[in-house]
């Protein structure tokens, strides 16, 4: 057994963060308020951060350190969810928050940040280590990277480190993803670049690796001989939440499938790495993403369904359609829903459909992966036909990512009483009741990883490009078509065409 195996290596879970400064570009934005600072505060609550850990927030808005602290306090209290807000702890934590106003296109902004880094190195003993976080609009990425480089902040002196976290989207298509890559590499070494996909940091997504590779009984079934098809669903009940103008340009395929859901699919389908260490795990993920079948234009028609929500009624309330949302044009062709049938061209998965769907304003918020196994080869019980079950076959394994995290396995059982009547039943594992501890949020895990230099759960440029390669043919066809939108009502399960896509292969979407 190698020491690098996490299931036998408690050290991975007890890593100490070295002293350092986190520099957040876009500190006045939603991500900083909702996710980043609450995640840091929870890490502080769990005593995972060193005493001198400091944060420098940057945005154009003029603010004093105290204004910034007050803003962060309000949003942290609001978004902390299941951790108590401890006033004393906040006071200590907030003493490490600083703010430098500045325009990312102005070299003076980076000089001011460099000066602040130097000052904190002495006043808070940050050790000269720095982690830059690009949480701005993607159109500012190139300027920020170049600015950091020109101010001489990207390279560390001996024994210290400089790293950068880049938020998605990594480009708008394959070409722009490559351009961004070139900008990054002019300034940072690949080992210092952390491309974040927060789905990889979710406990339940990480648990897919444990489930598959720490247990002996599932892996022999995990292939085309036993798996009939797989459904990956990421349904959101919310709309675009004030992000209409960003979302109008992005759409569901770019916003969720190109990154989050293809990473989830890769986690479900990749080969076992020989050891649990960053390069080995990332190599397997990358190999899988590179094996996704690249559709030809005529395959796009049969294997993809775009959708856009119109007005709908939910719980007695009328919800507006996408085209009525703020910042969205009245004839927007944006996909707020996308369902794609992917195939993986390798020995393990050839011929197995992977139905992947995601949408805004669907009936409920749920993310899960349903693995439908083949039916028994010969039915000896009269009630054991495929249609006794509400879904295509009796054996279904569901990995529930959110909100009710867990795993359940469905199988047929005899109904009590005389005669041989069968009914589907399920064996359930629930995170909450099994462990009784709070699962860390994805951003906590991922920030901790980047601060300790562990890139296992971060995506890599080859993965980013492979995912773009898989979705680019779809984007190419979609952008030349005029869709008859809206084609699903807010609060429903999406367009009928999506059901038809599965029906063509004799399958039905599961209602989670």
Distances (CA, A) of 187 to 127, 142, 212, 308, 464: 21, 10, 38, 40, 19
Least distance (Å) between residue 214 CB and ligand BG6? 25
CB of 458 to ligand BG6, least distance (A): 15
Q: How far is the CB of 54 from ligand BG6 (least distance, A)?
A: 27
Please choose, from the candidates 352, 114, 321, 136, the residue with its C-alpha nearest in 3D space to the C-alpha of residue 229: 352
Q: Taking CB under 6 A as the rule, does residue 368 contact ligand BG6?
A: no
Q: Which two tokens stand for residue 309?
A: 């929500």
Q: Which C-beta is closer to ligand BG6: that of 199 or that of 213?
A: 199
Helix, strand or coil, per DSSP, at residue 442: helix
Provide the mask over 416-455, with x wherever binding to ligand BG6 is found by CB under 6 A and - wherever it is not. Answer: ----------------------------------------
Distance CA 183, CA 199 (A): 25
Number of neighbouring beta carbons within 10 Å of residue 273: 18
Residue 196 Cβ, how far from ligand BG6 at the closest point, in Å? Answer: 10
Q: Please select the residue that binds ligand BG6; options are 181, 255, 405, 449, rule is CB under 6 A.
A: 255
Distance CA 339, CA 355 (A): 7
Give 254's contacts (C-beta < 8 A, 6+ positions apart). 169, 172, 471, 475
Closer CB to ligand BG6, 192 or 236, in the complex: 236
Q: Residue 367: helix, strand or coil by DSSP?
A: strand
260 labelled catalytic: yes
Nearest distance in Å: CB 334, ligand BG6: 12
Is the CB of 203 or the CB of 255 nearer to ligand BG6?
255
The smaller minimum CB distance to ligand BG6, of residues 367 and 492, is found at: 367
Cis ω before 403 (30° cut-off from 0): yes
Shortest gap between Cβ of 367 and ligand BG6 (angstroms)? 6
Interactions with ligand BG6, residue window 13-42 (CB under 6 A): none
> For ligand BG6, how many residues bind (rule: CB under 6 A)?
3
Q: Which residue is nearest to ligand BG6 (CB)?
A: 255
- Nearest CB to ligand BG6, comparing residues 120 and 328: 328
CB 73 within 8 A of CB 117: no
SS3 content of the chain, % helix, strand, coil (to 5): 40, 20, 40
Complex with ligand BG6: residue 333 or 402, whichever CB lies closer: 402
From candidates 121, 181, 203, 236, binder to ligand BG6 by CB under 6 A: 236
Greatest extent of the chain over all pairs of C-alpha atoms, in Å: 83
Which position among 172, 260, 293, 507 bears the catalytic label? 260
H or E element that contains 110: helix 107-123
Q: Computed from CA positions of residues 133, 135, 136, 137, in that sequence, does the dihedral angle turn out positive or negative? A: positive
Active site residues: 260
Q: What residue ranges bind ligand BG6 (CB under 6 A)?
A: 236, 255, 367
């Amino acid at each position: 057994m190698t020491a690098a195996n996490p299931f036998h290596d408690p050290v991975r879970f007890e890593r100490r963060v070295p002293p350092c400064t986190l520099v957040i570009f876009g500190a006045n934005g939603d991500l900083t308020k909702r996710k980043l600072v609450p995640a840091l505060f929870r890490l502080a609550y769990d005593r995972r951060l060193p005493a001198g850990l400091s944060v420098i927030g940057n945005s154009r808005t003029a603010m004093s350190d105290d204004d910034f602290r007050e803003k962060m306090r309000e949003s942290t209290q609001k978004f902390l969810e299941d951790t108590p807000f401890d006033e004393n702890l906040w006071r200590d934590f907030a003493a490490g928050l600083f703010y430098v106003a500045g325009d990312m296109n102005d070299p003076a902004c980076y000089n001011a940040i460099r000066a602040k880094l130097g000052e904190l190195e002495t006043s808070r003993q940050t050790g000269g280590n720095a982690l830059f976080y690009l949480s701005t609009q993607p159109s500012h990425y190139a300027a920020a990277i170049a600015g950091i480089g020109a101010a001489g902040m990207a390279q560390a002196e001996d024994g210290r480190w400089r790293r950068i976290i880049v938020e998605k989207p990594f480009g708008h298509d394959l070409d722009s993803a490559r351009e961004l890559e070139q900008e990054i590499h002019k300034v940072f070494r690949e080992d210092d670049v952390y491309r974040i996909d927060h789905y990889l940091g979710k406990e339940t997504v990480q648990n897919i690796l444990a489930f598959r590779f720490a247990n002996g009984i599932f892996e022999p079934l995990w292939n085309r001989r036993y798996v009939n098809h797989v459904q990956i669903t990421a349904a959101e009940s919310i709309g675009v939440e004030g992000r209409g103008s960003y979302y109008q340009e992005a759409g569901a395929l770019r916003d969720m499938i190109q990154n989050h859901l293809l990473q989830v699919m890769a986690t479900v389908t990749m080969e076992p790495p020989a050891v649990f260490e960053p390069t080995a795990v990332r190599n397997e993920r990358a190999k899988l993403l590179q094996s996704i079948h690249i559709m030809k234009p005529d395959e796009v028609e049969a294997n993809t369904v775009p959708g856009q929500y119109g007005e709908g009624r939910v719980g007695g309330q009328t919800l507006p359609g996408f085209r009525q949302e703020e910042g969205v044009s009245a004839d927007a062709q944006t996909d707020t829903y996308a369902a794609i049938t992917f195939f993986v061209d390798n020995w393990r998965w050839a011929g197995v459909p992977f139905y992947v769907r995601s949408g805004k304003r669907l009936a409920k918020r749920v993310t899960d992966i349903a693995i439908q196994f083949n039916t028994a080869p010969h039915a000896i019980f009269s009630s054991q036909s495929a249609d006794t079950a509400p879904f295509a076959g009796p054996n279904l394994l569901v990995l529930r990512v959110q909100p009710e995290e867990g795993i359940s396995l469905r199988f047929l059982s005899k109904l009590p009483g005389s005669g041989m009547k069968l009914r589907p039943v399920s064996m359930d594992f629930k995170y909450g009741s099994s462990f009784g501890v709070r699962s860390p949020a994805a951003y906590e895990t991922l920030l901790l990883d980047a601060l300790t230099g562990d890139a296992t759960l971060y995506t890599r440029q080859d993965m980013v490009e492979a995912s773009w390669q898989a979705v680019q043919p779809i984007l190419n066809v979609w952008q030349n078509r005029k869709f008859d939108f809206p084609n699903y009502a807010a609060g429903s399960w999406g367009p009928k065409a999506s059901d038809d896509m599965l029906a063509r292969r004799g399958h039905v979407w599961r209602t989670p």
